[in-house]
Chain A
Amino acid sequence: MFWTVTRALLEGTGTAAQLFFLTLLFSLPLGLVISFGSINKWRPFHRCRIGWLSRFQPVSLLVKSIVWIFRGTPLLLQLLIIYYGPGLIFDVNIWGSSTNGRMIAAVVAFVLNYACYFSEIYRGGIESVPRGQYEAGLVLGMTRRQIFFKVTLLQMVKRIVPPMSNEIITLVKDTSLARIIAVVEIIKQGETFLRQGMIWPLFYTGVFYLVFVGALTLLFNWIEKKLDYFR
């Protein structure tokens, strides 16, 4: 019995890992784009005499509103809305009813949600790099792009590793929320044994999360060590 349960939970771990890696793959770069949006200082009416209109920053405001929505509502709710919403509103289920469809819907919800969290971490990282670094780059004739990639980026990465690792560890455990739209991840697998009157498989799922997070912790420690050569 133990092996049957273990095999089932491993299968769930595979699904959770798939959701985890796909989420990271898309939300890490998307978060950077969002962070650029939220620090965008474009003021189309800066010549206007009306105070609030001259300070109006549409890109930043729009992006910050989106971030507010995704950070301000439960991921569980976002999963439900993204999966069932299109069907209810437009009368077409764009996700299909297959396992794949559910997974894609879950990835979309997770990517949007996590990109918003990451964007705030990135923003903090970008803003924590002293302005003098940027100015030194300018004075040396570098373009803004060169300054970002050659000077700012690595310093920012170094600073955001601790908050990022926190957020990414949370993501591992958040994958369990996907069971609300019937993605069969670890907890969902464990729950199937309830019907056979066994509750211990559900408790046993904790081990799989611990191992997953343990591996990630080692990885983050390694990255921190790697970036230890400068301050």
Chain B
Amino acid sequence: MSILQVNQLQKSFGATQVLQDISFSLEKGQALAIIGSSGSGKTTLLRCLNFLEIPDGGTISVNGQCIFDAADPTTQKEREVRKKRLHFGLVFQSFNLFPQYTALENVTLAMTLLSKETGAWKANRKEEQERIQQEGLQFLASMGLANRAGHYPHQLSGGQQQRVAIARALALKPDILCFDEPTSALDPELTGEVLRVIRDLASRQTTMIIVTHEMAFARDVADEVVFMDGGVIVEQGPARQVIESPTHERTRRFLSRYGADGEEVT
């Protein structure tokens, strides 16, 4: 059974239909890359999955359980939406780290707040704090940032900030981790370290959805690729197949703008 099943998702902003009839599924441990030009609806799709936008139509199921149905308002109550968001993690294009917290605090803040809602916090506060602290440090270490735990975001490079953001998202152990163009705001020489980290996550069977303009990266890391254009899925299939031998004319035209190495040709 698929871990994620999206059915006929629709979203409009005013009169503009941004997503039309989006359906796809994702298997546990797989990485899905979404490619397409700006304005094709990729980011809106991710935002819908994270309930930052409420879809106008369609359903979203995680682990076979329907967590969102546009036709059923009971699935859209704010209290429940908050819990349902935790199925997904989201790494933003612009990192959105909290500037007043250190790297470690950025990772542990939400963990601490969630822990306070459980009995474990009340029963043994000290131990729970210690556990969260250790866990946060481990997540930072896995991003190669063990020695940056006490740094504030403005003291870190863009690549380091994005890796803290990835650690922060991972710390809540989402079922599916989403990336919204994770390297687009970075200087070219900093994209490598972030891509390497994501590659590493893929090799450890992290279930991911990655919106990206890095074609070579999508081809090598993703299991499946979805090509979107004008709010619809034009083509989807195994990564290598879609990127190296696309069947649709629109996909071919889009990919021809990128060279063999995935770099955009201008």
Contact = CB atoms under 8 A, between A and B. Distances in A.
Q: Do A and B bind each other?
A: yes
Interface of A: 130, 132-133, 135-136, 138-143, 146, 150-151, 154-155, 158, 229-231
A136 B98 contact: yes
5 contacts: A133-B96, A138-B51, A138-B85, A142-B82, A142-B113
B112 to A, nearest CB: 10
B94 interface: yes
A229 B155 CA distance: 10
Contacts of B113: 141-142, 146, 150
Contacts of A132: 92, 94, 96
Interface string B78-103: 00001101101110101011111000
A136 to B, nearest CB: 4
Contacts of A154: 100
A133 B165 CA distance: 12
Contact of A135 (B88, B96, B99): B96
Nearest to B93: A132
B120 interface: no
A136 B96 contact: yes
Interface string B180-216: 0000000000000000000000000000000000000
Contacts of A231: 99, 152-154
Contact of B83 (A135, A141, A146, A150): A141
Given A151-B98, A154-B100, A155-B100, A140 B110 contact: yes
A136 B94 CA distance: 10
Range, interface on chain B: 20 to 34
Nearest to B51: A138
Given A138-B82, A140-B172, 12 more contacts: A133-B96, A133-B98, A136-B96, A139-B85, A141-B83, A141-B85, A141-B110, A142-B113, A229-B152, A230-B99, A230-B152, A230-B154
B260 interface: no
Contacts of B152: 229-231
Nearest to B82: A141
A139 B172 CA distance: 10
Contacts of B88: 139
Contact of B90 (A133, A139, A150): A139
B100 A230 contact: yes
B177 to A, nearest CB: 11
A141 to B, nearest CB: 5
Contacts of A135: 52, 92, 96
A130 B99 CA distance: 11
A175 to B, nearest CB: 34
Contacts of B169: 139-140
A149 B98 CA distance: 12
B50 interface: yes
Nearest to B99: A230
B89 A139 contact: yes
| For the complex of A and B, 6 pairs with smallest distance between CB atoms | A140-B110, A136-B96, A132-B96, A231-B154, A230-B99, A139-B90
Contacts of B100: 154-155, 158, 229-230
Contact of A141 (B52, B92, B97, B114): B114
B124 to A, nearest CB: 22
B172 A141 contact: yes
B146 interface: no
Interface string B107-139: 001100110000000000000000000000000
B168 interface: yes
A41 to B, nearest CB: 15
